[in-house]
């Protein structure tokens, strides 16, 4: 099968979308399929050598170290670039729309090269153009970004709320596009229910395929775990990830015990997270890092006594599966897909109410004080990760959805 895999951002350090592209494309070529990734910046790294990469350059207006930069007039190549610039200048987020418009233009010239097109979370109008040209289209929705919008609006001051609404303006487009794609992949039953509720799609459109983990890389280490070390991952410095609650819990714990927090996150310099750390007086025990390789991240998981996932919402949570594979006991919020991913209460993790500083503090203290409980949860988590979460299974189940989309298109049912 010849597969075009689309992703408007694909570098693994940008979050779970990049991890998904890397491992799914590898799993697909392992099954003997031909895969070409079409990606905007930042481009994916460490793709399987058998996977081809076609760069779909944007103006890259959010690139570091100069986010929201002003491009030179000579950089404006066409009307799509102009749309990207004007949307950004009016406080919107253009990438899902403009990426799929560019991808549709490229694929119009190469439609005969592919059997199926798989979009990763863009849900831009260009997908309908691609489907209209006769190519089967499948799209992955990791979770509905409507949930991010609700939490960001709740956290924003009154004068910022109009800007937050404008930033999330692309959601109307994503909802409309999703309703017209007959085959949608998502990563959990919880996320599927939220997509049905928020996007208004039919349950018949959705196929649940959980994500996987490399259990050969993420595994218990041979050395001693660092006493009192807690690890937490936040792919974005937003209220959604619950970092504020975790920092408040850590501040309480440090008054009665020695501990350190390793926070893997890209946080805004002198932004709210840094300010809160200073206000709480925990700068000496909170260490923030980002841009880790897979091997470095795996080593950090294996060195921690406890992993914490304090999110206010999760459609899946790769860090939860990576922690389980590492044999690291987990304290997590009982919210979204986390109970589904982690299993029943107490089996592989301690689950607490979201945004509850008291409950999180108590659960972390209890685990840090109980080596036997940490061993029990760690072993159970490792077993669950090995038995349930496999990238090989992800690829095989995804191919079955491709086959369904191809058959549907052959019957003249490319869109809903």
Task: Specify the pLDDT at position 211.
Answer: 96
Nearest-CA neighbor of 126 among 188, 163, 67, 83?
83
pLDDT for res 68: 86
What is the reported pLDDT for 13?
61
Q: How many CA atoms lie within 13 A of 265 on its CB side?
A: 25
Which strands form 2-7's sheet, in the order they lie side by side? 52-55, 34-39, 2-7, 116-120, 137-140, 183-186, 206-208
Angle at 321 between CA 137 and CA 42, to 5 degrees: 50
Three-state SS at 95: helix
- Strands across the sheet with 330-333, in order? 286-289, 260-265, 229-234, 306-309, 330-333, 349-352
Q: Euclidean distance between the first and final Cα of the chain, in Å?
A: 24
Residue 340 is predicted with a pLDDT of 96
Closest by Cα among 43, 38, 46 to 60: 43
Quick one: pLDDT at residue 347? 86
d(CA 312, CA 333): 7
Q: Collapse the DSSP code of 245 into the 3-class scheme (helix H, G, I; strand E, B; otherwise coil) and give the result.
A: helix
Q: Which CATH number fits domain 229-388: 3.50.50.60, 3.40.350.10, 3.40.50.2000, 3.60.21.10?
A: 3.40.50.2000
Which pLDDT tens digits describe the chain residue by residue (416 residues)? 999 999 999 876 656 788 999 999 999 999 999 999 999 999 998 899 999 999 999 999 988 888 889 999 999 999 999 999 999 999 999 999 999 999 999 999 999 999 999 999 999 999 999 999 999 999 999 999 999 999 999 999 999 999 999 999 999 999 999 999 999 999 999 999 999 999 999 999 999 999 999 999 999 999 899 999 999 999 777 889 999 999 999 999 999 999 999 999 988 888 889 999 999 999 999 999 998 999 999 999 999 999 999 999 999 999 999 999 999 999 999 999 999 999 976 789 999 999 999 999 999 999 999 999 999 999 999 999 999 999 999 999 999 999 999 999 998 887 87
Q: Where in the chain is the domain with CATH 3.40.50.2000?
A: 2-212+391-410, 229-388
2-212+391-410: CATH topology is Rossmann fold (3.40.50)
CA angle 148, 56, 35 (to 5 degrees): 90
| Residue 116: predicted pLDDT | 99
Predicted pLDDT at 14: 59
Query: What's this model's pTM, rounded to 2 decimal places?
Result: 0.93
- Give the model's pLDDT for residue 318: 95
């Amino acid at each position: 099968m010849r597969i075009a895999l689309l992703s408007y951002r694909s570098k693994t350090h940008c979050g779970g979308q990049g991890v998904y592209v890397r491992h799914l494309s590898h799993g697909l070529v392992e099954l003997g399929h031909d895969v070409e990734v079409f990606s905007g910046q930042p481009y994916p790294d460490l793709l399987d050598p058998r996977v081809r990469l076609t760069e779909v350059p944007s103006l890259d207006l959010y690139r570091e170290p100069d986010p929201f930069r002003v491009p030179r007039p000579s950089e404006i190549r066409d009307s799509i670039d102009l749309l990207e610039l004007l949307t950004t200048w009016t406080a919107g987020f253009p990438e899902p729309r403009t990426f799929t418009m560019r991808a549709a233009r490229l694929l119009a010239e190469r439609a005969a090269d592919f059997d199926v097109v798989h979009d990763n979370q863009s849900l831009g109008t260009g997908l309908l153009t691609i489907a209209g040209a006769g190519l089967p289209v499948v799209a992955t929705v990791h979770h509905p970004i409507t949930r991010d919008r609700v939490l960001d609006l709740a956290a924003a001051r009154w004068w910022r709320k109009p800007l937050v609404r404008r930033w999330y303006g692309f959601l109307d487009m994503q909802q409309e596009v999703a309703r017209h794609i007959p085959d949608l992949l998502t990563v959990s039953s919880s996320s599927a229910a939220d997509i049905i509720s928020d996007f208004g799609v039919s349950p018949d459109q959705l196929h649940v395929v959980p994500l996987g983990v490399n259990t050969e890389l993420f595994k218990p280490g041979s050395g001693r775990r660092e006493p009192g070390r807690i690890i937490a991952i936040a792919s974005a410095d937003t209220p959604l990830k619950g970092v504020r609650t975790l920092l408040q819990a850590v501040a309480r714990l440090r008054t009665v015990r020695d501990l350190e927090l390793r926070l893997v996150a890209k946080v805004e310099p002198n932004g709210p997270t840094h300010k809160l750390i200073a206000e709480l007086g925990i700068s000496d025990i909170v260490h923030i890092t980002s841009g880790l390789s897979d091997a470095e991240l795996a080593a950090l998981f294996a060195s921690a006594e406890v992993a914490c996932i304090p999110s206010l919402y999760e459609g899946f949570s790769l860090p939860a599966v990576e922690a389980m594979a590492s044999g690291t006991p987990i304290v997590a919020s009982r919210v979204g897909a986390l109970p589904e991913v982690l299993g029943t209460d107490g089996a592989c993790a301690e689950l607490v109410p979201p945004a509850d500083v008291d409950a999180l503090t108590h659960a972390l203290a209890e685990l840090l004080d109980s080596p036997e409980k940490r061993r029990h949860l760690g072993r159970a988590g490792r077993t669950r990760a090995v038995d349930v979460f496999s990238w090989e299974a992800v690829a095989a189940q995804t191919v079955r959805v491709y086959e369904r989309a191809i058959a549907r298109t052959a019957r003249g049912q490319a869109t809903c």
